[in-house]
Amino acid sequence: MGAFIVNTSNSPYARLRPVSISDVKVNDDFWLPRLNTLARVTLPRMYNLLEETGRVDNFRRVSGDFKGGFKGLLFNDSDVYKWIEATAWLLTYMHSDELAKMLNDVVDAVSKAQLPDGYINTYFYDRLSDRYRYLRQSHELYCAGHLIQAAIACRRGGACPRLYDTAVKLANHIVDTFNDHGIVAVDGHPEVEMALVELYRESGDVRYLNEAVFQVNTRGRGTLRGFRMPNAWDFDDEYFIDHKPIKELNEVPIAHAVRFLYLMSGATDVFMETGDKGLWDALNRLWVDLTETRMYITGGVGSRHEGESIGERYELPNDRAYSETCAAVANIMWNYRMLLATGEAKYADVMELALYNAALAGVSLDGREFFYVNPLASRGYHRRMPWFEVACCPPNIARLLASLPGYIYSLSSDGLWVHLYVSSSVRARLGNNVVELIVKTSYPWDGEVNMVVNPSHSDEFTLYLRIPGWSRGAKLMINGRDYEHELTPSTYIGVRRNWSYGDEVTLRIPMNIDLMSPHQHVLANTSRVAIRRGPLIYCIEQTDNPGIDVYNIALKTTCRLEAKFNRELLGGVVVIEGDAYELGTQGRLYESINDVKLTIRPIRFKAIPYYAWANRELGPMTVWVPLMDYYDKVVKAG
């Protein structure tokens, strides 16, 4: 057994197997400070907020350890579970007496709140006759799923194994209740599907898998219509992805983004166990539609505030982007599972994109504040907050970061896979060999990745290295000699050879600055470009550009841009500096073009990685920048 974040070790339809996060040691200049901040600042602060807002007391009142009423919203239990999960993963590879004690206290409170039949939900404790009656809004299986995931993390990582019994009891209650002979319905918010498959993987008990299959196949049949909570907020069936079965979806629905992406994640888990072809076809169709027509260049998903939902094709507004932090986390979860199923690099590309941009923007550099909504342009009033009444995002980004070491590597029957380039070492069993891989890199600032392969004995196996989709001209050297095969972007190059202790592999991925053009149907970005360097999307923030209206900065293709590492800035970032123009504005909101005369002045400008914005003074920000000679550049003279 190992601390697997998604354990596909025995999944018949998964190409890749996971590496235990306890076998990965991250010592990366980019990520290690984030993990340290998570351990020292974010998780302890979040524990205090859970206590202060009554979220833990809600459990204690069920066991009688707290006198008082239920506090907060009906899905608040899930915030506690996600914090447990985050803390459990973190404690797998980092030591913290403080967090261990907090975890123990919270797990105590949770375990003691379980009712004799296995049900646990602190909101419905006061109205048990209503349980499972209002699934459209109640989030009961959603909360249950988070508890199961938290318990699995606690058990696999060893941080607090006893929560597992609570989760199993609850899962048994669900399995006994929801099926063709019991309640035929899904939960308004998908989440339990992933959790049930993982519990099946953990326990070997096929009832949990069957329940996940039931949930996935029952979805889209309108069962939620019979489970409306009176006087509650509501949306249409499509919001809940309950309008059409998954296998019949030909395009991504105008659904709540997190609900959709959790459902896709759970369905992918189901596929990896069952090999359901219809499901797989749907997952692929929907993945293409999402990533090629409805995803932000940051990897964020969610184009509408109303319903926190995905939009129509190419509907990707900047200032009114929703791009919820939770949706970025969920997008990573889904793509990671698609990657496990296939070993195809296109999924790792999206995973990396969402990780370094949309998701990472969700938390401040100091680990104290969070975005719920992640716009791609802001007039300057949008700021991270320490907490939210609906507090799904903070513990979600926390559990993602805590489980990061688990996303870096995978195994297949024939070798070791490197998905993300992070300075770290990993030990993995390949057949009867134990292979250590040591990775050193300054990624994402520099594309040189130095690796040392240390098998316990010389052996033939394959080292799979991801050639990022954004890269051009990557080169590979093995023990100082050029590797002569072509490295195609968005593939894994599989280097199969007899590896010996100390073999050196160097991957050099040029990190050029690219101006990215959006599809012409993205009405929000006509003739604009976004600046990308390596896996990072850049933005222009007011504070770096004093005296310049960032909304009026325009580029030409002739503008020279350069990347400079600035150790002092924002924890150390590569800044992109260059020539640009500041345009004036016309005087009236609408003018005949014959009357418009805009001033123009050459300027120098600076852009920073998008993930780092809003960590300093308030001010406007934009990702997409007008390119004055856009059409000259892109239109092929006919």
Number of C-beta neighbours around residue 285 at 10 A: 15
3-class DSSP string for 41-96:
HHHHHHHHHHHHCCHHHHHHHHHCCCCCCCCCCCCCHHHHHHHHHHHHHHHHHCCC
Would you say 298 and 318 are in contact if contact means Cβ atoms under 8 Å apart?
A: no
594 binds a second copy (CB under 8 A): yes
- Binding-site member from 48, 104, 479, 599 for a second copy (CB under 8 A): 599
Helix (H), strand (E) at residue 353? helix 345-353
Measured from the CB atom, the residue of 115 and 516 that comes closer to a second copy is 516
Measured from the CB atom, the residue of 155 and 304 that comes closer to a second copy is 304
End-to-end CA distance of the chain: 62
DSSP state of 359: I
Q: How far is the CB of 185 from a second copy (least distance, A)?
A: 23
**Residue 197 three-state SS:** helix
Of 568-587, binders to a second copy (CB under 8 A) are: 583-586
Helix axes 77-93, 140-157, angle to 10 degrees: 20
Q: Give CA–CA dist 286/222, Å, rounded.
A: 20
554 binds a second copy (CB under 8 A): yes
Tell me the window of 132-140, 206-214, 392-400, 589-597 that interacts with a second copy (CB under 8 A): 589-597
491 binds a second copy (CB under 8 A): no
- CA torsion angle 242 248 253 259 (round to 10): 50
- Binding-site member from 116, 432, 617, 637 for a second copy (CB under 8 A): 637
Q: How far is the CB of 141 from a second copy (least distance, A)?
A: 24
**What would the x/- binding string for a second copy be over residues 460 to 489, using CB under 8 A?**
------------------------------
Tell me the window of 155-163, 206-214, 227-235, 407-415 that interacts with a second copy (CB under 8 A): 227-235
Measured from the CB atom, the residue of 183 and 516 that comes closer to a second copy is 516
**What would the x/- binding string for a second copy be over residues 295 to 324, using CB under 8 A?**
x-x------xxx----xxx-x-xxxx----
Helix axes 55-63, 77-93, angle to 10 degrees: 100
Q: How far is the CB of 316 from a second copy (least distance, A)?
A: 9
Would you say 298 and 376 are in contact if contact means Cβ atoms under 8 Å apart?
A: yes
Tell me the window of 31-39, 82-90, 354-362, 550-558 that interacts with a second copy (CB under 8 A): 550-558
**What would the x/- binding string for a second copy be over residues 88 to 117, using CB under 8 A?**
------------------------------
Would you say 273 and 197 are in contact if contact means Cβ atoms under 8 Å apart?
A: yes
**What would the x/- binding string for a second copy be over residues 360 to 399, using CB under 8 A?**
-----------------x-x-x------------------
Question: Total residues contacting a second copy (rule CB under 8 A)?
Answer: 75
Q: How far is the CB of 140 from a second copy (least distance, A)?
A: 20
Number of C-beta neighbours around residue 381 at 10 A: 8
- Binding-site member from 1, 128, 390, 523 for a second copy (CB under 8 A): 523
List all residues 6 or more positions away from 398 whose beta carbon is below 8 Å from its beta carbon: 38, 42, 43, 46, 82, 83, 86, 363
Measured from the CB atom, the residue of 489 and 494 that comes closer to a second copy is 489
Would you say 463 and 449 are in contact if contact means Cβ atoms under 8 Å apart?
A: no
Q: How far is the CB of 129 from a second copy (least distance, A)?
A: 19
Would you say 622 and 550 are in contact if contact means Cβ atoms under 8 Å apart?
A: yes
Length of the chain: 638
- Binding-site member from 527, 578, 603, 618 for a second copy (CB under 8 A): 527
DSSP 206-217: HHHHHHHHHHHH
Measured from the CB atom, the residue of 127 and 162 that comes closer to a second copy is 127
Of 33-92, binders to a second copy (CB under 8 A) are: none
Tell me the window of 32-40, 143-151, 285-293, 571-579 that interacts with a second copy (CB under 8 A): 285-293
- Binding-site member from 530, 548, 559, 561 for a second copy (CB under 8 A): 530
Q: Per DSSP, what are the bridge partners of residue 621?
A: 378, 541
Tell me the window of 135-143, 180-188, 449-457, 622-630 that interacts with a second copy (CB under 8 A): 622-630
- CA torsion angle 207 212 216 217 (round to 10): 0
